Amino acid sequence: MQKVILVGKPNVGKSSLFNRLARERIAITSDVAGTTRDTNKTQIQIYDKSCILIDSGGLDDSSELFRNVKIKTLDEAKNADIIIYMVDAKFMPSDEDKELFYSLSGLNLPIALVINKVDSKKDEARAWEFISFGAKDVFHISVSHATGVDELVQWIHKHLKTNLIKPDDGNDDFDDFLENFDDDGELSKSENYEDKNIRVGIVGRVNVGKSSLLNALVKDSRAVVSDVAGTTIDPVNEIYEHDGRIYEFVDTAGIRRRGKIDGIERYALNRTQKVLEKTDIALLVLDSSEPLSELDERIAGVASKFELGMIIVLNKWDKSKIEFDELCKDIRYRFKFLAYAPIISVSALGGKRVHKLYDLILSVYRNFTQKLQTSKLNEAINEATKTHPLPHDKGRSVKIYYAVQFGFAPPRIALIMNRPRALHFSYKRYLANKLRDSFELSGVPLVFVPKKRGENSDESSENE
């Protein structure tokens, strides 16, 4: 798929244009120069064509960190198909901008000079000064006022090849689940998960090595790595193919203790949570060279609320002084709610054992999207209730008549009962453990929805 990259100096409005073209607030925008430090990618549709839109870090030499950002941005531009070079109409043209534009023009790619923040007649007059760039395709726009953007979109469309996007219909709700069953009473998958991209979010506190892990997974210096805590602010997207499967990795901003979250990082925390809403599998990255912290537990708790497949990654294993079994025991004790998550040790900087993550991610994803055989599911439930009967509710017996899976990613199971409100969360946990003995469910939460026979109203559900 073709790539369209937005480049320019800091604070010219690249992220604002990125969000407008994506029709979603993906990139963080602020008046602070250098807010975007990594390239951010998303798939968008322009009329009947699709492409990968890239929001790059600002071209700045003011510090070592930003020089690294600049190098990465220029490397991304060389691998793009269409370049949009943005400048700020509030300032006169600079020699640095002109040199950078000439350099990118030499790549022989379609390139447009986009003059942003043309909000007044004075801005319009100043914008004409950029004629000295000698650009063939020039657009005067104001992203904040949504003027001039349509002409730019038409220009992009003209240079794109036809590549239609297939709509994502999603899963049906429980109220419509009966329509998803075949003639044999088995749930039919409403989506072909074998053909879908696997969406993987990388989460953890600051400086545990999330960006290094992303770089090692995609075998490229994809994310800016620095000893400066909080280097990653925007989520960093990367689409990567491995053994015929497409993976969409997102390196999220590191999370600090609440008292240390301020300014842009508060937006980053909110954006991390939005990333998790669209993720299939979360890689919870822990620093194995340091003791586990309360913040690690809180982050794990946040991730678990999104009903994701989960893998615990012990990074910096080459620096760890703790035995693997001992650390796993501590994790299982602290993260009881993630008892289903497999644990793997890696060294992202050295690339050790990182390749094993792909097999593990694929295995968890298949568990995450699997269809449980109805007869086997009910055998396991019946065996569980015989071994440990349900507690009575105010002297009345509580029964599970049958169980049926009504959704995927993760497996969602309706328990048809006589007294659904009497099902205690501890018994759901017991049932989940019994099902894990009968099915391959490593890395996957189970969602139980107790229902009364013939009832369509929603009941509370719980992950196990």
pLDDT exceeds 80 at position 183: no
pLDDT tens digits, 96-115: 999 999 999 999 999 999 99
The reply to whether 166 sits in an annotated binding site is: no
For residue 338, what pLDDT is reported? 94
| Residue 34 assigned ligand-binding role | no
Would you say 253 is a known binding-site residue? yes
Evaluate whether 360 touches 311 at the Cβ level (below 8 Å): yes
| pLDDT at position 47 | 80
In tens, the pLDDT along 204-258 reads: 888 899 889 999 998 875 544 444 444 444 457 788 889 999 999 988 765 555 5
- Binned at pLDDT 50, 70 and 90, residue 172 comes out as very low
Look at residue 453 in the predicted model and tell me its pLDDT: 75
Residue 33: what pLDDT? 43
Is 205 marked as binding a ligand?
yes
CATH no., domain 374-463: 3.30.300.20
204 is in an annotated binding site: yes
Give the pLDDT band (50/70/90) at residue 184.
Answer: very low
Whether 251 has a binding-site annotation, put simply, is yes
42 CB burial (10 A radius; 0-12, 13-18, 19+): buried
Ligand-binding annotation for 259, yes or no, is: no
- Taking the C-alpha atoms of 313, 308, 365 and 248 in order, what is their torsion angle to the nearest 10 degrees? -80
- Tell me the pLDDT tens digit for each residue of 302-335: 888 899 999 999 999 999 989 999 999 999 999 9
Does residue 191 carry a pLDDT above 80?
Answer: no
Question: Does 218 carry a binding-site annotation?
Answer: no
Averaged pLDDT score across all residues of the chain = 82
Give residue 99's pLDDT: 92
What type of residue is 56?
S
Closest-CA residue to 408 (of 197, 192, 247): 192
8 marked as part of a ligand binding site: yes
% of the chain at pLDDT higher than 70: 79
Residue 15 annotated as binding? yes
Report pLDDT digits (tens) over 388-400: 999 999 889 999 9
**The whole model's pTM is what?**
0.63
Residue 248: beta bridge partners? Answer: 199, 239
What's the DSSP call for residue 221? Answer: -
Confirm or deny that 351 is annotated as ligand binding: no
For 212, the 3-state DSSP assignment is helix
What's the confidence (pLDDT) of residue 35?
43
Q: Return the higher-pLDDT residue of 162 and 116.
A: 116
Predicted pLDDT of residue 275: 77
254 is in an annotated binding site: yes
Give yes or no for residue 159 having a pLDDT over 90: yes
Q: Where are the alpha helices (DSSP H) in 225-293?
A: 264-277
What's the pLDDT at 417?
Answer: 92
Quote the pLDDT of residue 224.
44
- Candidate CATH numbers 3.40.50.1110, 3.90.1150.10, 3.30.450.20, 3.40.50.300; the one for domain 194-368: 3.40.50.300
57 is in an annotated binding site: yes
Strand pairing category for 245-251 and 198-203: parallel
The answer to the question of whether 202 is labelled as a binding residue is no
Is residue 363 annotated as involved in ligand binding? no
| Rg, C-alpha atoms of the chain | 25
Contacts of 115 (CB under 8 A, 6+ apart): 86, 87, 88, 89, 127, 130, 138, 139, 140, 141
**255 annotated binding-site participant:** yes
Say whether 317 counts as a known binding-site residue.
yes
258 is in an annotated binding site: no
Is residue 4 marked as binding?
A: no
CA distance 364 to 51: 29
Model confidence band, residue 378 (pLDDT cutoffs 50, 70, 90) = very high
pLDDT at 163 over 60: no
95 is in an annotated binding site: no
Q: What is the pLDDT of residues 63-96, one digit of tens each?
A: 666 677 788 888 889 989 999 999 999 999 999 9
Residue type, 454: G
- Please check the confidence at residue 181 and state whether its pLDDT lies above 60: no
- pLDDT value at position 254? 55
Q: How far apart are CA 122 and CA 90, in angstroms?
A: 9
| Contact present, 114 and 85 (Cβ < 8 Å) | yes
Q: What is the pLDDT of residue 389?
A: 94
User: What is the number of other CB atoms lying within 10 angstroms of the CB of residue 184?
Assistant: 8
Q: C-alpha distances in angstroms, 98 versus 40, 46, 86, 141?
A: 24, 29, 11, 19
Higher-scoring residue by pLDDT: 287, 29: 287
Determine if residue 318 is labeled as part of a ligand binding site.
Answer: yes
Query: Residue 456's pLDDT is what?
Result: 53
d(CA 143, CA 13): 7
Note the pLDDT of residue 151. 92
- What average pLDDT score do residues 144-173 get? 71
Task: Quickly count: other Cβ atoms within 10 Å of residue 11's Cβ.
Answer: 20
Residue 179 in this model has a pLDDT that exceeds 60: no
Domain regions of the chain by residue span:
3-158, 194-368, 374-463
Handedness of CA 65, 70, 73, 79 (dihedral sign): negative
- Record: fold of 3-158: Rossmann fold (3.40.50)
With vertex at residue 199, the alpha carbon angle to CA 370 and CA 431, rounded to the nearest 5 degrees, is: 35
Residue 49 predicted with pLDDT over 50: yes
Any known ligand binding at 319? no
Q: Is 78 annotated as a binding residue?
A: no
219 is in an annotated binding site: no
Residue 369 or 162, more confident: 369
pLDDT tens digits, 2-43:
999 999 998 898 988 998 888 776 554 444 444 444 567 888
Same fold flag, 3-158 and 194-368 = yes
